[in-house]
Amino acid sequence: MDAALELTEDDVRCPSCSSVQFVGVQVFGVYDGVLYWECAACGHRWHRFPAGHHLHHRAAAYLAEPEPMPVIDGAPDKSCPVTH
């Protein structure tokens, strides 16, 4: 393991909720290994690699919060066979 990438005490907790339950996410075709961390408790995602590392930039697109799904009149879309 790279000395610069060793975990510190702060790295073993979610920066959003302080949970110690998180998983490493691998994105096939981007990096053969854990690219970023995702909290199992709150869903927050954060960088595995420090700023300046070439993989920090590669992970940025996967860390953005997804756009919320549109809701029509507060009910699921009845034309979708999965939602009814």
Listed residue (63, 27, 67, 20) closest to 45, CA to CA: 63
Residue 50 belongs to some domain of the structure? yes
Domains in the chain, number: 1
Q: Supply the mean pLDDT for the chain.
A: 80
Per DSSP, the residues of 26-83 read --TTT-SS--EEEETTT--EEESSPTTSHHHHHHHHHHSPPPPPP-BTTB--TT-TT-
**Quick check: helix, strand or coil at residue 11?**
helix
The pLDDT score that the predictor gives to residue 54 is 92
Residue 80 belongs to some domain of the structure? no
Domain span at residue 20? 3-63
14-55 pLDDT, tens per residue? 999 999 999 999 999 999 999 999 999 999 999 999 999 999
Residue 45 belongs to some domain of the structure? yes
Residue 69 belongs to some domain of the structure? no
Gap between the terminal Cα atoms of the chain: 48
